[in-house]
Amino acid sequence: MRKKIETKMDLNFVLFTCFISFVSGENVDGLELKMASVLYRHGDRSPVATFPKDEHRSYWKQGLGQLTEIGKKQEFSMGQFLKKRYVVNKFLNQTYLRKQVHCRCSDKDRCLMSAEAQMAGLYPPLYVKKPVQDDKEWQFWQLIPIHTVPQNHDKLLRPYDYNDCPRLQEIKQKSFSDPEYIEMEKKYKDFIQNVSINLGLSKSLTLNTIYKAYDVFFCQRAHNLSWPDWLTPDIFEKLEVLQDFDFVWMFNTPEKARLTGGVLLGEMIQNMKKFKKNPGNAKKLHVYSAHDTTVVALLSALKIYTGIPPPYSTAFLMELYYSKSTSKYMVRMFYRNDTSQPHRAYELSIPGCPLNSCSLDSFITLTSSAVPKDYEAECHVNQSSCSVKCKTNDCNEKTCKDTLTAVVIILLLAFIAFVGYIVRRCQVKRNAKSLRHFQQIQNEEWDSE
């Protein structure tokens, strides 16, 4: 069953990816690494949800959706991978330099902690031995700034959850009425209801939320925790099929992919353009600590997502090289998603851009349709009619009420100001008229007693 659905997904998402032998950062003859952008998923975490009959809910000491000790180790290993790739060959300085590296992170604890662990692996303490004076100990740690924005404003690393793109919300809602989606809902309706009952839920999960059940059991298995008796391998496999289907569905049209992963793709391209224009005033490494959905969105925008969700600590690398033979800038992409080979990466390619010979100009041209030209315009941000937005599910009831309230207040203040102006004008006219009846006082009269 899983193979059948995966085959169907592969027909919709043709893999334009060429896997070659493992590479570990060594340069191809004639190509010199100049800059890189790295997007990676956070490490192992606790489940994002629980359910009434969950026997292991108290196992997760830090709560739901938090980075585990395993995850910390995975991200530290990620940092060591980047160190081997970028520091050992002297692409980056041995110690942290602000002008070389910029780290951007999704505003989630697990992503922030992953970024800290990754940076600790990339830039470990300057000395292994503890200093003699305890008050000097902090000086031996390389403290790295990690930048973030509130998650509901993060169109770069949490594009699927970004609230200020009405068009994206509209096409998401419409896609749930697609015949293929409805067919999947009908096919697995009884299965989802039975799973919900076994979880002890009073309200059944849906095709859009069943991933939460899969996530719980996936995390439990990763930590060698027992499963309930009703959860057979066959049931878990069906949950996995539904989870994979949901991942594909989130970005299954060019417009969905452009308004999500296309935003980050556009930023990575801008990073390369800036470096090409002014190498001495541009960062050499941009690091993005985010989620599996972020990785899938980017791969979907590039049209190279295979339908297989990225494991923990997966990394996508986009690197800019300079070709000495052609005097051109070249783009190479790598994918680190093999947990058994943490210091290895596969090289990827897109249609029309052969491996090791994809110029920056060609890459920009070939991906132009995947990058928003005017994000706000494509998102219909400037359509201020709240009634239109509400009819298309682009804003909720609260947003409409808040907007109308603000308009009423503004109009009321304007009316009060206008009335005040009229009253003041009337007073000035009356005063001017009354002054005509006063006799002018001569200067000498003020001196009289």
pLDDT tens digits for range 256-295: 999 999 999 999 999 999 999 999 999 999 999 999 999 9
| Residue 445 located in a structural domain | no
Cα separation, 184 vs 190, in Å, equals 11
Q: Is the pTM for the entire model greater than 0.85? A: no
Could you write out the DSSP letters of every residue in 7-50?
A: HHHHHHS-------S-B-SPPPTTEEEEEEEEEEE---B--S--
Query: 11 lies in a domain?
Result: no
Which ranges of 176-253 would DSSP assign to H, the alpha helix? 179-187, 189-199, 211-222, 233-250
Q: What is the 3-state secondary structure (H, E, C) of 251-307?
A: CCCHHHHHHCHHHHHHHHHHHHHHHHHCHHHCCCEEEEEECHHHHHHHHHHCCCCCC
Which residues in the chain come in under a pLDDT of 70?
Answer: 1-29, 128-136, 138, 383-401, 423, 426-449
**Apex 446 CA angle, 444 and 449, nearest 5:** 100
Establish how many alpha carbons lie within 13 A of residue 121's alpha carbon, considering only the half-sphere containing its beta carbon: 21
pLDDT at position 189: 97
Place of tokens 């994206």: 168
Residue 397 has a pLDDT of 59
The domain in which residue 41 lies consists of 31-380
- 409 found inside a domain: no
Confidence at residue 382, expressed as pLDDT on a 0 to 100 scale: 78
Block residue for tokens 């896997």: 19
What is the number of structural domains in the chain? 1
Does residue 344 lie within any of the structural domains?
A: yes
- The secondary element (H helix, E strand) that includes residue 147 is strand 147-148
Distance CA 317, CA 34 (A): 13
Q: What integer pLDDT is reported at residue 131 of this predicted model?
A: 58
> Known catalytic residue: 292?
yes
Question: In angstroms, rounded to a whole number, what is the distance separating the alpha carbons of residues 382 and 247?
Answer: 30
Quick check: is 388 in a domain? no
Distance CA 78, CA 84 (A): 10
Nearest to 115 by CA among 289, 343, 295, 292: 289
- Tell me, yes or no, whether 448 lies in a domain: no
CATH code, 270? 3.40.50.1240
Catalytic residue among 54, 107, 161, 292: 292
Q: Is residue 430 part of a domain?
A: no
pLDDT value at residue 29: 66
Instruction: Provide the residue type at 67 as one letter.
Output: L
In a domain, 146, yes or no: yes
Examine the residue annotation and report whether 56 is marked as an active-site residue of this protein: no
Q: Would you state the torsion angle of the CA atoms of residues 122, 127, 130, 131, taken in this order, to the nearest 10 degrees?
A: -130
Contact (CB, 8 A) for 285 and 102 = yes
Residue 297 near residue 156, CB atoms below 8 Å: no
